[in-house]
Amino acid sequence: MDKGKRYVPVATPETKHFWDGASQGRLVVQQCQQCEHTYFPPRPFCCECGSRDVAPRECSGRARLYSYVISHRAAPGFEAPYSIAVVELEEGPRLMTNIVNVPQTPEALVLDMPLRVTFKELSTEITLPLFEPQGAAS
Ligand code: ZN
């Protein structure tokens, strides 16, 4: 990757429902129509039962902080310090994201804290779902 060049994800057919949803302010994962397993990241088949009968499922956007690390090195598009977190959605799947609108400190970032999704537009095609504390003023 070029130094200083910002990494922007690219939508593929498998992830299109996710990026389309995000650009409309919706967090969309997938759910198996056979066993009802809800999962992320996008795959054309269910990771529980192998069925290809899967459909997009819109999530509530509520999540809890599952784990995180704080990076003290600036990265393209991120000022240090910033958190790299795994959140667990109310619907079950976990996803890697950043926690925003809160100090990036261990004191402020408490495991299991309630979070809600917020969206950051990176380009016309790509909007990233980020998470902030429930009750944050944004
Ligand atoms: Zn399944």
Closest among 115, 1, 7 to 67, alpha carbons compared: 115
121-134 pLDDT, tens per residue?
Answer: 988 878 999 999 99
What's residue 77's pLDDT? Answer: 75
Residues in the chain: 138
Query: Among 27-41, 66-80, 103-117, where is mean pLDDT lowest?
Result: 66-80
What is the distance in A from the centroid of ligand 1 to the CA of 53? 8
pLDDT in tens, 80-118: 999 999 999 999 999 999 999 999 999 999 999 999 999
Q: How far does the centroid of ligand 1 lie from the alpha carbon of residue 39, in Å?
A: 10
- Going from the Cα of 61 to the center of ligand 1, the distance in angstroms, rounded, reads 22
Q: What's the gap in Å between 54 CA and the centre of ligand 1?
A: 8
pLDDT at 7: 67
Distance 95 CA to ligand 1 centre (A): 19
pLDDT at residue 131, rounded to an integer: 98
Confidence of residue 76 (pLDDT cuts 50, 70, 90): confident
pLDDT for the residue numbered 28: 97
Does residue 131 contact residue 87 with C-beta atoms inside 8 Å?
yes
Calculate how far, in angstroms, residue 100's C-alpha sits from the geometric centre of ligand 1.
Answer: 33
Residue 1 has what pLDDT? 43
Measured from the Cβ of residue 93, the count of other Cβ atoms closer than 10 Å reads: 19
pTM of the predicted model over 0.75: yes
